[in-house]
């Protein structure tokens, strides 16, 4: 096992979750290090989405503890977790399809400074927000669409706007649950490379689930493998690629 030198941003300790009598998470303990991209993989039904729902406060764990930046956030409601800068993208209550790409990115930038965006018409005064929004749109390859309404965009670009909105909300850590779901291979590659760029240009920690193994191995620094609600393995992409138990769990899959 590779030892990581960076400090821990997220620690979960013996997390359990059940839907009624159906046990989905069976005592997961792991630590995500600060910065870069960490991946959570596992066959369909392994419990990845449930795990994110538990971390982001949608469901409290039935047992176990969650620490974010050493703060015990177990049982915190989602809005409180968001305030601590642990954000989950693709929950997407925060996208406005009828506003432009630029406006969608501007809103969280303004909100995070505690201003109210009811003065939208006066926004031209707030040049700093425009510059920051432009940076984010540039980073995500969205600049050519800045004045288009989000509803007009292609599926892959809409998802990039969602990532942009999350990124603009000043996160320390972003949970991305299958950011490339529904994308074709070209869109997948583009999206993943953009996420990688964003991670390299910022201090934000990305924790992503992704079904495409090639993608996972090429972008993540560290990988956790979930299988039937338990942690099966963890390590660098190289270690996971060569892990016999992981290969067996994915028998017939793409590993």
Ligand X SMILES: Nc1ncnc2c1ncn2[C@@H]1O[C@H](COP(=O)(O)OP(=O)(O)O)[C@@H](O)[C@H]1O
Indicate whether 50 belongs to the interface with ligand X (CB under 6 A). yes
Neighbours of 197 (CB within 10 A): 13
Tokens representing 46 are: 């392994």
Indicate whether 47 belongs to the interface with ligand X (CB under 6 A). yes
- At closest approach, how far in Å is the CB of 24 from ligand X? 4
Q: Identify whether the C-beta of residue 85 lies closer than 8 Å to the C-beta of residue 173.
A: yes
Q: How far is CA 178 from the centre of its chain?
A: 8
Tokens representing 237 are: 């992409």
Please say which residue, 135 or 228, places its beta carbon nearer to Mg ion. Answer: 228
Q: Identify whether the C-beta of residue 57 lies closer than 8 Å to the C-beta of residue 73.
A: yes
Indicate whether 119 belongs to the interface with ligand X (CB under 6 A). no
Which residues here bind Mg ion, judged by CB under 5 A?
48-49
Indicate whether 38 belongs to the interface with ligand X (CB under 6 A). no
Q: Is 15 exposed, middle or buried (0-12, 13-18, 19+ CB in 10 A)?
A: buried
Which one of ligand X, Mg ion, none is in contact with 42 (Cβ closer than 5 to 8 A by kind)? ligand X
Which one of Mg ion, ligand X, none is in contact with 179 (Cβ closer than 5 to 8 A by kind)? none
Candidates 46, 101, 107, 176; binder of ligand X (CB under 6 A) is 46
Candidates 3, 44, 70, 93; binder of ligand X (CB under 6 A) is 44
Indicate whether 253 belongs to the interface with ligand X (CB under 6 A). no
Q: Which of 15, 26, 22 is nearest to 55 (CA)?
A: 15
Indicate whether 182 belongs to the interface with ligand X (CB under 6 A). no
Residues found in the chain:
255
Q: Identify whether the C-beta of residue 167 lies closer than 8 Å to the C-beta of residue 106.
A: no
User: Which residues have C-beta within 8 Å of that of residue 57, sequence separation ≥ 6?
Assistant: 73, 75, 76, 77, 78, 80, 81
- Which stretch in 37-45, 95-103, 137-145, 216-224 sits in contact with ligand X by CB under 6 A? 37-45
Indicate whether 70 belongs to the interface with ligand X (CB under 6 A). no
- At closest approach, how far in Å is the CB of 117 from ligand X? 34
Candidates 14, 45, 80, 248; binder of ligand X (CB under 6 A) is 45
Q: Which of 96, 98, 95, 76 is nearest to 85 (CA)?
A: 76
Enumerate binding residues for ligand X (CB under 6 A): 19, 22, 24, 42, 44-50
């Amino acid at each position: 096992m590779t030892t990581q030198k960076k400090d821990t941003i997220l620690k979960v300790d013996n997390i359990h979750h059940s839907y009624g009598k159906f046990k989905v998470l069976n005592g997961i303990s792991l630590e995500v290090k600060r910065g870069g991209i960490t991946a959570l993989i596992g066959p369909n039904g392994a419990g990845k989405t449930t795990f994110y729902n538990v971390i982001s406060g949608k469901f409290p764990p039935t047992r176990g503890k969650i620490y974010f930046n050493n703060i015990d956030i177990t049982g915190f409601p989602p809005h409180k977790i968001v305030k601590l800068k642990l954000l989950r993208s693709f929950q997407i209550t925060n996208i406005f399809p009828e506003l432009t790409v630029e406006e969608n990115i501007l809103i969280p930038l303004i909100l995070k400074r505690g201003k109210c965006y009811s003065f939208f018409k006066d926004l031209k005064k707030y040049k700093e927000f425009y510059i920051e929004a432009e940076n984010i749109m540039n980073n995500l390859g969205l600049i050519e669409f800045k004045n288009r309404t989000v509803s007009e965009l292609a599926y892959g670009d809409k998802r990039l706007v969602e990532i942009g909105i999350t990124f603009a909300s000043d996160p320390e850590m972003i949970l991305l649950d299958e950011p490339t779901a529904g994308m074709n291979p070209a869109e997948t590659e583009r999206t993943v490379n953009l996420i990688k760029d964003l991670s390299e240009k910022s201090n934000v920690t990305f924790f992503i689930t992704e079904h495409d193994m090639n993608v996972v191995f090429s972008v993540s620094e560290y990988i956790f493998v979930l299988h039937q609600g338990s942690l099966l393995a963890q390590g660098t992409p190289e270690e996971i690629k060569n892990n016999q138990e992981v290969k067996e769990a994915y028998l017939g899959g793409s590993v």
